[in-house]
Structure 1
Amino acid sequence: MSAKAELPNSEGLEHDAAELHGRVDAGEIAVGVIIGRTSEFFDFFVYAIASVVVFPRLIFPHLPPIEGMIWSFAIFALAFLARPLGTAFFIAIDRRFGRATRLTTALLLLGTSTVAVAFTPGHAQAGVWAAIILGIFRIGQGVALGGAWDGLPSLLALSAPEKRKGWYAMVPQLGAPFGLLVASALFAYLLIVLSAEDFLDWGWRYPFFCAFAINVVALFARLRIVVTPTFQELFERRELQPTPVFEAIRAEGPRIVIGAFAPLASFAMFHMVTVFPLSWVFLFTREEPSRFLMIEMVGAVAGIFAIMASGVLADRYGRRKVLGGTAAAIAAFSGFAPQLLEGGTVGELVFMVSGFILLGLAFGQASGAVANSFAKRHRYTSSALTSDLAWLFGAGFAPLAALLLSVYGGLLASGAYLLSGALVTLLALWLNRTLGHSHLPEGRKRAAEKAG
């Protein structure tokens, strides 16, 4: 069977849909993907920003500022530990009750856990229980994020034209800078217009209420696509159906591991230009957090264009070359760039813009870096597990690790985390080339290697 038959192009997808309930194309899927990912990343960044500017003072005021930030980042990591458990739990719901029930339940849990954070008491009211309560809500967010996987990114990848797969692969990643822009703008506005006392008392809670509202809107937007008869049929025809987690692990274990580590450079970079620099500026400079959030917004705009550029480059040179080239560039960046954070406004701006450009080029192609090597029967579950593990190993502990390294070894030492991620990415890409397609027929192997 040819690669084209195995990986249908957009014309074939549109023909299938037209036979069912009207014309559906990759562009419509892309809209649903962007809406879903933007809402998830808005939730993510609302919590991430609060973990720097709110929780150390609200939950850990009895600790020195650095220790409070460390404990805040430790709670931040709990969501990433919980995500694989959420995937396993919601895959079971999907198999028993269907994708609509899974998505509705997961997003309601995500919205409820997020808005619940807004009601978290401070240490002055609840003592040590304040940290425990926050940790429980954070775990709830992680479980829900594991269940929020709707399969649309995989369907988008399968529906993309053969010569534009890199372009469509970057579409889901646009949700990250969009979510960061909105979250940063909202926090910056509140920090500017409110006094420090009002912000810490009630102002910081408002973004979490906004996150709940955005989740509700995103839920209906995604359900409109996912549960229609047209898309249900398309999921079935493309064999994008959930299989038991342990079955997928037995069948695809090595490729899941490779897929989790292949984008490690971009995931490590993700927090090195978002959460970590905000914590450094907050702890070790006299700069107002609102001002640095505006710099982050400038960087996010650069990241949007870089993500789009990654699609063009991947279609021209191949996804593996883009990932490998950006991993090497990130390794070089790690050797000097973190010190720019000590260079005042100019240094911070250079760090953030250059960092976001590298992040966009790498992160734009990080989604499903080895998805083509998964057997079709296990692609849905394996892709979800790969995403969970990539976030866990690449991003979950990045702010904590970078902060500890910089506190005890200086800013230059924080680059060691980036360097390790870049080296692991290069190793994983090499392993994927030698092992990742070993189970495929020869024709599909050549096509997958060309696309990857």
Structure 2
Amino acid sequence: MSSNRVAYAGPSSSPLERDARLVSSDARIAPGEIALGVVIGRTAEFFDFFVYGIASVLIFPRVFFPMVDAPTGTLYSFAIFALAFLSRPVGSVIFMAVDRAYGRGTKLTIAMFLLGGSTAVIAFLPGYDQIGPLSIYLLAICRLGQGFALGGAWDGLASLLALNAPQNKRAWYAMMPQLGAPLGFMLASGLFWFFVSNLSTDDLLEFGWRYPFFVAFAINVVALFARLRLVVTEEFARLLENHDLEPCSISDLWHNHRNPLIIGAFVPLATFALFHLVTIFPLSWVTLFAHRSAGAFLGTEFAGAVLGAITIVIAGVIADRIGRRRMLAICAVLIAIFSFVTPLLLGGGEVGQSAFVILGFGLLGLSFSQAAGAVTSRFPSEYRYTGAALTSDFSWLVGAGFAPLVALWLSTHVGLYMTGAYLLSGAVCTLLALSVNRRLEITDR
């Protein structure tokens, strides 16, 4: 065993990290194995969040907010949904300190158990009818825990994948972590689809909805081990030693490289605005106002997620030919065009709503494929690990955290056309951010 690996293990290594090290032995880990570990980890994270998002529409308004009408209860659910995106940057900052003090294996173990635990605890929460407002407070605490843990789940594996990728395959490898989103959505929507279609409403609200939350813990344990096996590899230890993936001081990052941090938060805004507008929001709209079967619509969204996974891969091929940022700019223009037909499709009955989901997922895959890391390459190597983590946190917060809440409120109180306007604003912000980033790169030269 090499000296690098021994040094990285240290006395602070968790038992799971040491077990993962034994399994990995001294064999060199291929890029394909790194990609698989990244996809497994991202799938587990997105599964947790999509289970919560779907339940925010179908379950929580009835279980935790029965004292108000269904649209208001859904708005309250979406408000709590947004809490995780507020706590995520806080989690990143605190877990970066844990990383520096105790090692990445310890940080990942704590974060993934907290993420899975916060999700699993929701499965056992009593509803409003049992304990009153306390049930809402407990749900909010669990949601904050999910976001806090997700901030700590940043492992740098996506950066390791990018750094190991051939120069002409950067976009191809960059798209691989993004596959976790459609895969996680397929798992979450598939589980709810099964229970909604096979249980009565009373049974679903009594016990059926709890199962997807409970299985999250097992999925996170599997994902944790898959990621730890890679974190302890020779390649990862070498990159740490070369300061390519070391956590840095937040104050130093802000003082020296605030521009790519700020710009990076706005570059994927069109993508992240679309993200929840085709996954969570339409489910709320059609069940509240179009009176469609939730089970049937979940099936449509499942099909859309399959298409999204395919277009993520296609975008990886295209972006290697035309450039990642140009790909994002083209997708932002397409999202802007899509924003004009959004109200027409959502208000166009079953056919229009299904078309919105399928087209939206296809477009989301093209855009989401390259949304991560297109600007973080501007960070010097010693700042890239922390810079990429915080850029991701802030872009999710600004672009996606409040999207279901804002879209549902606007469409309910003003009109569906405002949902299209909201999406258009995200596309404009992306194009402006890409333009500013381009000018700064020219100035830096």
Q: Same fold (TM over 0.5)?
A: yes
Match of 1:100 in 2: 105
Q: Does residue 209 of structure 2 align to residue 204 of structure 1?
A: yes
> How far apart, CA to CA, are the structure 2 residues paired with 1:293 and 1:230?
41
The 3-state SS of whatever aligns with 1:60 is coil
What per-residue deviation string (whole Å, max 9, x for no partner) do you get for residues 47-88 of structure 1? 000010000111111111111111100000000000000000
Superposition map of 1:275-286 within 5 A: 275-286=280-291
Distance 1:378 1:345, change over 3 A: same
Further displaced range: 282-291 or 170-179: 282-291
Q: Which residue number in structure 2 is paired with residue 33 of structure 1?
A: 38
**Superposition deviation, residue 230 in structure 1:** 4.2
In the alignment, what sits opposite 1:345? 350
Deviations 1:146-184 (A, max 9, x none): 000000001111111100111111111000000001110
Matches of 1:210 and 1:437 in 2, distance apart?
49
Equivalent pair of 1:370/1:436 in contact (CA under 8 Å): no
Query: How do 1:39-188 and structure 2 match up within 5 A?
Result: 39-188=44-193
Aligned partners of 1:74 and 1:425: how far apart in 2?
25
- 1:372 Cα offset (Å): 1.1
Q: Which residue of 2 aligns with 1:314?
A: 319
Give the Cα separation in 1 of the matches to 2:442 and 2:376: 10
Q: TM-score, normalised by structure 1?
A: 0.91
Between the aligned partners of 2:74 and 2:351, the Cα distance in structure 1 is 26
Q: CA deviation at 1:436?
A: 4.5
Query: Relative to structure 2, which stretch is displaced further, 224-233 or 169-178?
Result: 224-233
Report whether the alignment pairs 1:395 with 2:400. yes
- Post-superposition CA distance 1:97-134 (Å, at most 9, x none): 00000000000111111111111221111211111110
Note the alpha carbon deviations across 1:184-222, whole angstroms, 9 max, x for none: 010010011111001101110000111111001111111
- Corresponding residue of 2:18: none
Structure 1 match to 2:21: none
Residue of structure 2 in register with 1:11 after alignment: none
The partner residue of 1:272 within 269, 273, 277 is 277
* Residue number in structure 2 paired with 1:372: 377
Amino acid across the alignment from 2:394: L
* Alignment: residue pair count: 421
Q: Which moved more, 1:421-430 or 1:407-416?
A: 407-416
| Separation (CA, whole Å) in 1 of partners of 2:292 and 2:103 | 50
Does residue 227 in structure 1 map to residue 250 in structure 2?
no
**Letter matched to residue 353 of structure 2:** E
The residue correspondences of 1:211-222 to structure 2 (distance < 5 A) are: 211-222=216-227
Q: CA shift at 1:438, angstroms?
A: 4.7
- Of 413-422 and 75-84, more deviation after overlay is shown by 413-422
Does the 8 Å contact 1:338/1:351 carry over to 2? no
**TM-score (ref. length: structure 2):** 0.92
Partner of 1:250: 255
Secondary structure, aligned partner of 1:202: helix
What secondary structure, in the 3-state scheme, does the structure 1 residue paired with 2:66 have?
A: coil
Q: Take 1:400 and 1:295, find their aligned partners in 2: how far apart are those partners?
A: 22
Which shows bigger deviation, 349-358 or 382-391? 349-358
Is the CA contact (8 Å cut-off) linking 1:373 and 1:437 kept in structure 2?
Answer: no
Q: Distance in 2 between matches of 1:37 and 1:370?
A: 20
CA contact (8 A) 1:21 1:230 kept: no
Aligned twin of 1:22? 27
In the other structure, the counterpart of 1:14 is none
Shift of residue 342 of structure 1?
A: 2.7
Contact 2:29 2:233 in 1 (8 A): no
Q: How far apart are the structure 2 equivalents of 1:250 and 1:195?
A: 57
Structure-2 separation of matches of 1:246 and 1:312: 37
Q: Kindly, what percent of the aligned residue pairs are identical? A: 56
**What residue is the counterpart of 1:10 in the other structure?**
none
8 Å Cα contact 2:243-2:382 kept in structure 1: no
Residue 15 of structure 1 corresponds to none
Q: Is 1:191 matched with 2:167?
A: no
How big is each residue's C-alpha offset from its partner over 1:329-364, in whole Å with a ceiling of 9 and x where there is no partner?
101111112331232332122111111111111110
Cα RMSD of the aligned pairs, angstroms, is 1.3
5+ unaligned residues in a row in structure 1: which ranges? 1-19, 443-452
User: Structure 2 counterpart of 1:73, which letter?
Assistant: F
Q: Which runs of 5+ in 2 are unaligned?
A: 1-24
The answer to whether 1:384 aligns with 2:393 is: no
The Cα shift of 1:231 comes to: 2.4
Between the aligned partners of 1:189 and 1:100, the Cα distance in structure 2 is: 36
Deviations 1:387-439 (A, max 9, x none): 00010000000000100110122212111110010000000000111114755
Equivalent residue letter for 2:283: L
Amino acid paired to 1:159: N
